[in-house]
Amino acid sequence: MSTMTGFDELTGDYVLDAAHTRIGLVARHRMASRVRGEFEACEGGVRVDGEDPSRSAVRLTVRTASIRTGDQRRDAMLRTSFLAAPDHPDMTFTSTEVRQVDETAFEVTGDLTLRGVTRPVTVEVELTEAQETGEGVRLGFRGGATLDRNDWGVNWNVLTTALVSPLVVLELDVVVVRRTEAAG
């Protein structure tokens, strides 16, 4: 395994490595500090343009029914009452703009669709890994954004408003892979 040296070496189409990716969330509960969870099913890809990062693109699909917080009762409530997974099985993000901030930091703006509502979101992302392996090139990204769940209608009832903060932190640890010709 060797580490890549130049951003221009990273140009290409990458597929999300779901086994090494974590899409998490943190919501502040007014009575019990924080609730943490993660989505276990996701897919997507990244188009990296190493010469002109503004021409790069991201797409991500997360299965809303795959939310896990460590409490089955809460998970069931999140799937039905909050995320409406039976009617809206996917949460999607499609980038509309990628801006390079410094050597490894980027701002990725795009459309986040949740519960049938689409709103613009900017995610701050850092390239944390770039390695060539026997299978291809692996990139690691870490990032996140703070969302107001009310913007997507993610609210159950008046009591929820009093107990759970409307602000939810989205945490991303993403690995994508560009396969080499020899690796298939």
pLDDT digits (tens, 9 = 90+) for 129-158: 999 988 899 999 999 999 998 898 887 655
% of the chain surpassing 90 pLDDT: 71
Residue with tokens 């998970």: 75
Domain ranges of the chain: 2-179
CA distances from 11 to 47, 133, 142, 144, 157 (A): 8, 16, 19, 23, 47
Please count the other Cβ atoms lying within 10 Å of the Cβ belonging to residue 82: 22
pLDDT digits (tens, 9 = 90+) for 171-181: 999 999 998 76
Report how far Cα 181 is from the mean position of its chain's Cα atoms.
28
pLDDT given for residue 179 in this prediction:
82
Please count the other Cβ atoms lying within 10 Å of the Cβ belonging to residue 87: 10
Strands (E), the chain: 2-3, 12-16, 22-29, 34-39, 42-48, 57-63, 67-68, 90-100, 105-114, 117-132, 136-148, 164-179
Report how far Cα 168 is from the mean position of its chain's Cα atoms.
13
- Selected from 2.20.25.240, 2.40.128.110, 1.10.3480.10, 3.60.150.10, the CATH number assigned to the domain covering 2-179 reads 2.40.128.110
What mean pLDDT do residues 106-128 have? 97
Q: Taking 60 as the threshold, does the pLDDT of residue 20 lie above it?
A: yes
pLDDT given for residue 88 in this prediction:
96
pLDDT given for residue 7 in this prediction:
78
Return d(Cα 104, Cα 13) in angstroms, integer.
Answer: 18
Q: Taking 50 as the threshold, does the pLDDT of residue 2 lie above it?
A: no
What mean pLDDT do residues 162-173 have? 85
Return d(Cα 41, Cα 47) in angstroms, integer.
Answer: 21
Residue with tokens 């703009």: 97
pLDDT digits (tens, 9 = 90+) for 44-101: 999 999 999 999 999 999 999 999 999 999 899 889 988 999 999 999 999 999 999 9
What mean pLDDT do residues 159-163 have? 59
* Length of the chain, in residues: 184
**Nearest alpha-carbon partner for 93 in 143, 127, 138, 54:** 143
Burial of 52 (0-12, 13-18, 19+ CB in 10 A): exposed
